[in-house]
Amino acid sequence: MTSADLSPRSVGAAGETAENVGARLSRILTAADEETNEVAGAACLEELCRFAGTDRGFIALFDDDECLEHAWLWDESGRPLAFPKPGTPLDELSGSMAGFMRVGRALAVGDLESLELGPSERALVESNGGMPRAGMMLPVLLGGRLLGVVSVHSMDETREWTKATIDQMEAFGELVVRMLDRNRERQALAAATTRARRIAAHLPDGLVMLSTDGLINWVSPSFEAMSSFSAEELEHRQFVELVGPSDRERLLKQFALVVAGPDASIAVRIANAAGDWRWADLSLTLASEPHQGVPDEIVITVRDTHERHMREQRLVEESDRDPLTGLANRGAFDRFIAELAGSDAPVMVAFCDIDDFKSFNDARGHDDGDHILRSVAGASGRSVRARDMVARIGGAEFVVVVVEPGHDAARLGDRLVSAIRAIAAEGRGEPTMSIGVCGPAPGAAAREMVRLADEAMYAAKRAGKDRLVHRGPPSGSWSDLLGP
């Protein structure tokens, strides 16, 4: 309501126009915030009582259950006033007047002594300093619900209120109740926001709120500390930009999943402000409150699990390593072959076995035997690239898998044989190897290629050892590629 809604012809008991009173009320309420709402309510109530010519009054706000939520009191009568506590039901607060309040009916009685009071009303009156001589009750409804009420009383004198004054008080009452309620909601929201920030600041896990298209709306202080980015640097960025490139597609799929309904979780690497990557476990859920008129958001809980992931990775690496040679063991090799099963990339497999190793080990001792195994492992590893696989799968058996070799079997065999012959030059024995090679062929056939390379290795032994035999794709023929 503005001063344009007021009738300048309406004059209060103190001779002041409604326009002036309305202007003051508007200024008080517009300037009020959650911190000054108490003072604003008391000032407005005093203005209303003086305009009506009363010496006592209250403003009450009610919750959805029609229980007293908050009240402002003003009194100049000098009589004791015992107002009910918050949570008091409407019927207990106002007795038979509750029915009028629920339908939003304003009541103004210039001489209350003419009314017959029931026991409950009389007890209520007596508890609040006795029966007033005149009173006005102005309920305010919102969507059919009782939002609040303004009630003003003259304790010792009757009043003769004109219809214009009562109408004006109704307009004033609606303005004041609605604005005070709005500020109360803001106060509650501010308190809830402050409380949420305090909680978030002490949570070990980070919290991030995103729009459903992945844009960061808010981050908790703990996530700021975790990422080393400030909130200003993070907000309005795409969250996926913080995630490692190899994890982004998986994360976007989880976004789509959580927007569709079920919660989701994923482990990803997140970059901090220094450019370092750390592992984190993300838990994603959709916050949806359509009845509140606010957009849906994706809420992400971020738990820093980098150290745990590193420990697990080290354990996996240790469990995948042959303790003597440091090469991959049989379990790691089998998983590598299984991963190749879904690939069309060309691969080549070499199956290698040290010739007469048991006899050498028995004759020279385990120390020299272990030295030969470690030397062969090192030489084999140096013969291929880091992305290829070299594994020890038996006592003196090694398998080499080259992905996208870019050369033929003879060149692979030459490298392996040269590496083994270099060991002999060290003077601690002269190991030789029988080598079977299969490929190149698509990775989907890798398991079958291992079998064929094994057969080729035994063919090399039957042919006199210290040689390489190539079998399988592309020619499908057997041929000796290395003589003794």
Cα separation, 22 vs 445, in Å, equals 88
Which stretches of 53-137 are DSSP H helices? 90-94, 98-102, 119-127
At residue 438, φ and ψ (nearest 5 deg) are -130, 135
CB atoms within 10 A of CB 6: 21
Percent of the chain with pLDDT over 90: 26
Which DSSP category does 371 fall into?
Answer: H
For residue 479, pLDDT beyond 70: no
For residue 425, pLDDT beyond 60: no
Least confident range from 59-63, 161-165, 417-421: namely 417-421
> Mind listing the pLDDT tens digit for each residue in 300-359?
999 988 888 888 777 766 778 888 998 999 988 998 898 888 778 889 999 999 988 888
Q: CA–CA distance from 214 to each of 106, 208, 209, 340 (Å)? A: 52, 11, 9, 34
> Mind listing the pLDDT tens digit for each residue in 165-174?
899 999 999 9
> N- to C-terminal Cα distance for the chain?
106
Beta bridge partners of 300: 208, 284
State mean pLDDT over 220-236. Answer: 89
Q: pTM (2 decimals)?
A: 0.43
State mean pLDDT over 162-191. Answer: 84
| pLDDT score of 148 | 92
For residue 409, pLDDT beyond 90: no
Q: CA–CA distance from 281 to each of 60, 214, 253, 265, 384 (Å)? A: 49, 17, 16, 7, 35
Mean pLDDT, the chain, as a whole number?
82
| pLDDT score of 216 | 94
Residues 6+ apart with CB under 8 A from 385: 402
How confident is residue 3, by pLDDT bands cut at 50, 70 and 90?
A: very low
State mean pLDDT over 232-237. Answer: 91
Q: CA–CA distance from 95 to each of 83, 89, 383 (Å)? A: 14, 10, 96
For residue 13, pLDDT beyond 80: no
Percent of the chain with pLDDT over 70: 84
> Mind listing the pLDDT tens digit for each residue in 198-209?
666 667 788 899
- Structural domains of the chain ordered from first start: 3-190 (3.30.450.40), 204-310 (3.30.450.20), 320-480 (3.30.70.270)
Which stretches of 288-408 are DSSP H helices? 306-319, 330-340, 357-364, 366-382
